[in-house]
Structures are given as C-alpha cells and as structure tokens.
C-alpha cells in the first residue's frame, strides 16, 4: 500500500506540471495503455482491507488528470496554431447585414404613407390609467373590456370619491389620442403606432400582445367623406392600385357613426376563396367620426371641431401584404422566417 501511495503522489505531481499538448497528455495518462490504466490494474492485487483507501487515492488522481486534460483542450481551442498564416490573396468575406422584422417594415410603410398626407407620428405610454384607456374614450363602466378576462390590470383601485383609478396595460393605442388632445388643441392630424395588450389565448389568429396604429384627424368641417378617402388612398398605396374598399356599419364607444373597413381580397381578387371566407373581402380596420363625448373629455368643443379616427392591426396588414398564415411567427424569432424579408424602405 505504501508503494502505491508513493506512486500515486509521484504521478499527481507529473500531471500538475505536465508540459505538452492535450493529445500527448491523453495518450500518456488517460488512454487504455496509459499510466492510470496500469495503476487500476495494480489495484486488483492489493489486499482487500487496503483497496478502499487505494481506490480513493486513484479516483482523486483520475479526476485531477481529467480536469487538467480539459484545461489543455480549452487552451488549445483559444490559441491559433503558430504555423497558421492567413492567405492574403483570398477575396474578403462578404459582410452580411441583418434585415428588418416584417412588422417593422409594415409599420415604416404605414408611417410613410400617412406622412405624405400630412400626418405626424405620436407616441404614448404602454402602462396606462383608466381615464386615458377607457373613460375618456366614452367606455361605460360596465363595458366588457373593463373586465379581468379581457384586460391585463396592474392595479385595480378606486379613490375616496369612488372614481376609477385602475392601472393597466393599454388595450389600444387610442390612449395616445386622448393624451395628444390634452396637450395640443386642434387642428390635429397624427398617427399613433405601438404595442398593445389583450388577455386572449394565443393562436394562429390571436395573441396576448400585438401592434396597432391609430389615426386621428380633428379640424374644422371634417366629414365622413374625408375618412373614406383617406383610407381609400392608404389601401391603394399599401396593397396595390387595384385594391377596393368597403365600409360596413359597426359600433365603437369612441366614434359615431362607426364602420368596419374591408379591402378586396388580395388572394382571389374579390372572387372568393378560403382566406376571405368566400366573401371577396377581408377586414383590416375599424373607423368612424370621433364621438362628441370624447372631444368634450379633452376640452374640445364638438360644435366647433369635428374629426375622424381609425385603428388597424399592424399584424393583420402584414399578414395580408406578405401572405403569412400564422400570427405566432412574428414573435417566435425563427431566423428562417425572418430572413425572407428584405424589402427596402424608401
């Protein structure tokens, strides 16, 4: 046993002070014919009452050798070979740049179209209070959107006077409309792109967060015809000159009258297919004339000023423009999907 202990201590010192590359170390100490294999063979001939202690010493030696081997390999990987000389006659490696996300491409295109019509770009907070997200937009107290199953609430609270003081993740970018009218008196012409949140199950057609762009135009003598012509121009610029639009009566608390905006199906050109459910039309936005109560809540006289507002999902526009069938692709960060978009923004 004494002889085994001296032998193990000797090899332990050799391992710690080894000078050479990783492969030489492996062959000498860790291979089938290496030093450690020989020592484990000798272990079989040691008396039974001494094997436990001898085995413990050998295991320590083996662990130390394996750790040193890993260090030698890591060192070799981080150091270029001394004889490696780059070939200076080779052509340079082409620099490959990334490309914009399809939602970013669509958002920039929407901004470009409306900026040409004189719209500025406004922004607002994603964490919002009840007043700017619901009350000022003419949502009644019992509206379904105020329920927990539809909205992500951060804090639900009422003050001493019983007024609603909820804090939440905004459910639309219409909150920016209220903040804009509080800060700036008409005329106002702006679009408000941004991320919004809804308490919805994630599927191919829905997500708990997505992106919207809200449009607002308040001025003297603004009529429904101005709204229709604005959206008609947008549809042709975004989807092509052959695109048609239609307006269907609808209801939103913050607009009156209200309408859903459809465009002719880009797949079947209005003839009817599975994408448009054989109607020839696909919904892209909601719109209407700004409700007088909304104007009053922002200290704007509805007898003096009128205006229209519209809102559309950037994901919906992107899916139609690029023929994408699953909303979840936008947030999965699959580079195979993202590399397909190389559109240049003018």
> Does residue 232 carry a pLDDT above 60?
yes
Q: Which fold has domain 102-338?
A: BirA Bifunctional Protein; domain 2 (3.30.930)
Mean pLDDT of 233-256: 92
> Which residues of the chain does CATH 3.30.930.10 include?
102-338
Average pLDDT, integer, range 248-265: 92
**What percentage of the chain carries pLDDT values higher than 90?**
43
The pLDDT, as a whole number, for residue 71 is: 82
Quote the pLDDT of residue 128: 93
Please report the pLDDT score of residue 292 as a whole number. Answer: 95
- Position 21 confidence tier, pLDDT thresholds 50, 70, 90: confident
The mean-pLDDT minimum among 100-109, 133-142, 170-179, 229-238 falls in 133-142
- SS3 for the chain is CHHHHHHHHHHHHHHHCCCCCHHHHHHHHHCCCCHHHHHHHHHCCCCHHHHHHHHHHHHHHHHHHHHHHHHHHHHHHHCCCCCCCCCCCCCCCCCCCCCCCHHHHHHHHHHHHHHCCCCEECCCCCEEEHHHHCHHHCCCCCCHHHCCCCCCEEECCECCCCCECCEEECCCCHHHHHHHHHHCCCCEEEEEEEEEECCCCCCCCCCCEEEEEEEEEEECCCCHHHHHHHHHHHHHHHHCCCCCEEEEEEEECCEEEEEEEEEECCCCCCCCCCCCCCCCEEEEEEEEEECHHHHHHCCCCCCCCEEEEEEEEHHHHHHHHHCCCCHHHHHCCCHHHHCCCCCCCC
Residue 251 — very low, low, confident or very high, per pLDDT cuts 50/70/90? Answer: very high
């Amino acid at each position: 046993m004494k002889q085994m202990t001296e032998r193990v201590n000797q090899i332990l010192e050799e391992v710690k002070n080894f000078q050479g590359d990783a492969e030489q170390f492996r062959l000498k100490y860790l291979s089938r014919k290496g030093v450690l294999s020989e020592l484990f063979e000798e272990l079989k001939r040691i008396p039974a009452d001494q094997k436990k202690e001898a085995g413990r010493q050998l295991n320590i030696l083996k662990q130390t050798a394996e750790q040193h081997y890993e260090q030698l390999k890591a060192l070799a990987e981080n150091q270029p070979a001394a004889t490696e000389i780059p070939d200076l006659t080779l052509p340079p490696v082409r620099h490959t740049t990334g490309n914009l996300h399809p939602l970013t491409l669509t958002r920039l295109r929407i901004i470009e179209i409306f900026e040409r019509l004189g719209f500025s770009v406004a922004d607002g907070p994603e964490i919002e209070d009840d007043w700017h997200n619901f009350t000022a937009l003419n949502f009644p107290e019992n509206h379904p959107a105020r329920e927990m199953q539809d909205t992500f609430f951060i804090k639900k609270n009422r003050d001493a006077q019983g007024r609603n003081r909820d804090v939440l993740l905004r459910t639309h970018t219409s909150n920016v409309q209220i903040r804009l009218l509080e800060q700036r008196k008409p005329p106002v012409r702006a679009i408000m792109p941004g991320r919004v949140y809804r308490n919805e199950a994630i599927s191919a057609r829905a997500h708990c967060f997505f992106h919207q762009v809200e449009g607002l135009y308040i001025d003297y003598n603004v009529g429904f015809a101005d709204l229709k012509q604005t959206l008609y121009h947008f549809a042709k610029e975004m989807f092509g000159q052959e695109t048609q639009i239609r307006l269907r009566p609808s209801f939103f608390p913050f607009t009156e009258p209200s309408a859903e905006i459809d465009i002719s199906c880009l797949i079947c050109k209005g003839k009817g297919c599975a994408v448009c459910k054989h109607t020839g039309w696909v919904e892209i936005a909601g719109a209407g004339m700004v409700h007088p109560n909304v104007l009053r809540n922002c200290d704007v006289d509805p007898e003096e000023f009128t205006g229209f507002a519209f809102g559309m999902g950037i994901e919906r526009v992107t899916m139609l423009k690029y023929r994408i069938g699953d909303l979840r692709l936008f947030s999965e960060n699959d580079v195979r999907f993202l590399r397909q978009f190389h559109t240049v923004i003018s």
